[in-house]
Amino acid sequence: MRKTAALRNLLRRPELAFVLEAHDGVSARIVEEAGFQGIWASGLTMSASMGVRDNNEASWTQVLEKVEFMADATSIPILLDGDTGHGNFNNVRRFVRKLEQRGVAGVCIEDKLFPKTNSFIKGEQQPLADPEEFAGRIKAAKDSQVDADFQVVARVEALIAGWPMEEALSRAETYEAAGADAILIHSKRSTPDEVIGFRRAWGDRLPVVIVPTMYYATPPETLESEGFSLVIWANHLLRSGITAMEQTARTIAHDRSLFNVEGEVASVKRIFELQGAAELADAETRYLPESPKDAQVVVLAASRDPGFGALTEDQPKCMIEVGGRPLLGRQLDIIRSCGLRDLVVVRGWKAETVAFDGVRYVQNDDFDDSSSAWSLQLGLPDDDVPLVVAYGDIVYRKHVLRTLLDENADVAVVVDLESRDRHAKPSGDYVKLAGKPQLAGVLEDEPLLLERVAGTDESADGEMIGLLKTSRAGTIRLKAAMERLQSEDRLRHANLSVLVGELLAMDCRVRVVPITGNWVDVNDLGDLAEASSY
């Protein structure tokens, strides 16, 4: 529903409606989140929040600027306190057109003279407008609106200025005849007698709006049963904000520390929420090209590898030091040097020994009875972000990771085409490629794809080194493959090769980034010596 129509409904529906004051984008959002169906953009609080008086010291265009932020930040209608309309009928015409353009649903103008003064400052001494002249402002407003549902509320200040009820009623009648959509009857009494008296005499002719700032103790049921249409809580967010801000400022000044206020103030995260940060993050996934540097890196470093005997007695394999630096430290340096910053390490065996700055850790308590896909599942982010997945016990030259990141594919794995020539022991991560694996041809021709995982089959074309990346779309596929494995109870003991095999089984294209050497999978002491050069 358009905001104008929504405000019209609030004014016209049989049940009493409530709107709460806001004075900027964030307070407007707070009003909406609290469940209100409308916002009062108060002249008093908008001017106060700008540090000026409620005497039209802020120009009407400055008011427009402010209310535009409020309208943009919210989806409920705003009734703007238009003061006197900022001049005569002519100023009102332009004002109304501009308010409509800024997404404001209605305006309330009061029968006083520009520049106005707040009603609670010597209200009885304030001159009222000539009712016929003010009726001209109302008529001009109604004649200028483009949207038929834009609401113009005529505010009667007669009771504030000390005139009798007859004057208030006669003015209301004149404004109704001029086309007003509702009458705001204002009172500075501490009881609702005046406004109730007005409403009873006025009847149902036009909806009646009230501002119970001074008769705040009146129960809402009374206001409801007296037939009012709209209650404006006119200034309470600014006032509560002032109390909180004064308290916080005094405490910080006194303590010279934030310690005593931290638990009392909204979190920075809450500010981000109110600013709509989540919407932007969502939009980024739709509109920004994926940058490989935004990938989340998950390094799988939970396993012990008892083959190393005493070397992995008190630490996982990835923490074996070569040249004074643990293997994992070397790999993290390489990862960081490629611009990747979001690093997760899945720890397991002797987790406490795996400690690097700037890394988030996830724990695989079942490291003895699970494999790398299980660790990966524990380290996966909830969001479908691009991923880089690496075994924790490999090291490679920087350009290996660079080439992988540059590969424009949803799923890509690094495959060493010559690993068999260097290793005596067969690997379990051999793969068969689709098409010709010759490196020279590969670099120029069609993208090289994986055909199947080949386990220990030595006639295969190469070996996956344990380095894989996915785009956002690839992450979704990867998660689906993991779910399939899990549904068949195969995930717990699956390594990356099994996972890649499952992706292929799902008809997912897996791009191959071919290398020859330039990496080490540390399996014996000879590998350790080589790793020290990375």
Q: How far is the CB of 97 from Mg ion (least distance, A)?
A: 21
Give φ, ψ of 521 to 5 degrees. -105, 110
Both tokens assigned to 369: 């009875």
Question: In this chain, which stretch among 39-47, 287-295, 302-310, 409-417 interacts with ligand SPV, using CB under 6 A?
Answer: 39-47
31: which residues sit within 8 A by CB, 6+ positions away? 19, 20, 21, 22, 39, 74, 76, 237
Q: Which of Mg ion, ligand SPV, none does residue 231 bind to, with CB < 5 to 8 Å depending on kind?
A: none
Question: In this chain, which stretch among 42-50, 235-243, 346-354, 520-528 interacts with Mg ion, using CB under 5 A?
Answer: 42-50
Task: Give the nearest residue (CB) to Mg ion.
Answer: 43
Q: How far is the CB of 165 from ligand SPV (least distance, A)?
A: 19
Q: What is the distance between the alpha carbons of residues 475 and 431, in angstroms, rounded to a whole number?
A: 21
Closer CB to ligand SPV, 87 or 339, in the complex:
87
Q: Which of ligand SPV, Mg ion, none does residue 213 bind to, with CB < 5 to 8 Å depending on kind?
A: ligand SPV
Number of residues that bind Mg ion (CB under 5 A): 3
Question: In this chain, which stretch among 42-50, 221-229, 430-438, 518-526 interacts with ligand SPV, using CB under 6 A?
Answer: 42-50
Q: Which amino acid type is present at position 228?
A: F
Q: How far is the CB of 234 from ligand SPV (least distance, A)?
A: 4
Q: Which amino acid type is present at position 488?
A: E
Contact letters for ligand SPV, residues 115-144 (x by CB under 6 A):
---xx-------------------------
Q: Which amino acid type is present at position 193?
A: D
Closer CB to Mg ion, 107 or 401, in the complex:
107
Q: Which of ligand SPV, Mg ion, none does residue 235 bind to, with CB < 5 to 8 Å depending on kind?
A: ligand SPV
Q: How far is the CB of 44 from Mg ion (least distance, A)?
A: 5
How far lies 331's CA from each of 10, 34, 210, in Å? 63, 49, 68
Query: Of how many residues is the chain composed?
Result: 534
Residue 44 binds to ligand SPV (criterion: CB under 6 A)? yes
Q: What is the distance between the alpha carbons of residues 258 and 4, in angstroms, rounded to a whole number?
A: 44
Which residue, 191, 190, 120, is CA-closest to 157? 120
Q: How far is the CB of 199 from ligand SPV (least distance, A)?
A: 18
With beta carbons less than 8 A apart as the criterion, state whether 468 and 496 touch.
Answer: yes
Q: What is the distance between the alpha carbons of residues 39 and 81, in angstroms, rounded to a whole number?
A: 10
Question: In this chain, which stretch among 22-30, 40-48, 422-430, 449-457 interacts with ligand SPV, using CB under 6 A?
Answer: 40-48
How far lies 375's CA from each of 160, 175, 470, 492, in Å? 72, 73, 17, 9
With beta carbons less than 8 A apart as the criterion, state whether 82 and 272 touch.
Answer: no
How far lies 214's CA from each of 186, 188, 364, in Å? 10, 6, 62
Q: How far is the CB of 211 from ligand SPV (least distance, A)?
A: 5
- For every residue of 298-312, DSSP letters joined together read EEEE----GGGGGGG
Burial track 372-398 (b if 16+ CB lie within 10 A, e otherwise): bbbbbbbbbeeebbbbbbbbbbbbbbe
Please list every residue from 342 through 381 that binds ligand SPV, using CB under 6 A: none
Closer CB to Mg ion, 43 or 326, in the complex:
43
Among 25, 38, 43, 501, binds Mg ion (CB under 5 A): 43
Both tokens assigned to 70: 């409020």
Closer CB to ligand SPV, 190 or 291, in the complex:
190
Closer CB to ligand SPV, 188 or 490, in the complex:
188
Q: Is 54 a catalytic residue?
A: yes
Q: What is the distance between the alpha carbons of residues 477 and 500, in angstroms, rounded to a whole number?
A: 11
Q: How far is the CB of 81 from Mg ion (least distance, A)?
A: 4
Q: How far is the CB of 235 from ligand SPV (least distance, A)?
A: 5
Closer CB to ligand SPV, 81 or 181, in the complex:
81
Alpha helices (H) along 204-289: 220-225, 236-255, 268-275, 277-287
Catalytic-role residue among 24, 54, 149, 181: 54
Contact letters for ligand SPV, residues 64-93 (x by CB under 6 A):
-----------------x------------
326: which residues sit within 8 A by CB, 6+ positions away? 318, 319, 320
Please list every residue from 213 through 232 that binds ligand SPV, using CB under 6 A: 213
Q: How far is the CB of 153 from ligand SPV (least distance, A)?
A: 11
Q: What is the distance between the alpha carbons of residues 422 and 267, in angstroms, rounded to a whole number?
A: 56
Closer CB to ligand SPV, 86 or 330, in the complex:
86
Q: Dihedral of the CA atoms 491, 497, 498, 503 (nearest 10)?
A: 100
How far lies 443's CA from each of 78, 406, 437, in Å? 61, 13, 10
Which pairing describes strands 296-301 and 321-322: parallel, antiparallel, or unpaired? unpaired
Contact letters for Mg ion, residues 63-102 (x by CB under 5 A):
------------------x---------------------
Alpha helices (H) along 256-320: 268-275, 277-287
Among 43, 379, 386, 474, binds ligand SPV (CB under 6 A): 43
Closer CB to ligand SPV, 46 or 491, in the complex:
46
Bridge partner residues of 208 (DSSP): 183
Closer CB to ligand SPV, 162 or 526, in the complex:
162
Question: In this chain, which stretch among 41-49, 182-190, 313-321, 424-432 interacts with Mg ion, using CB under 5 A?
Answer: 41-49
Contact residues for ligand SPV, defined by CB under 6 A: 42-44, 81, 118-119, 211, 213, 234-235
Q: Which residues are catalytic?
A: 54
Contact residues for Mg ion, defined by CB under 5 A: 43-44, 81
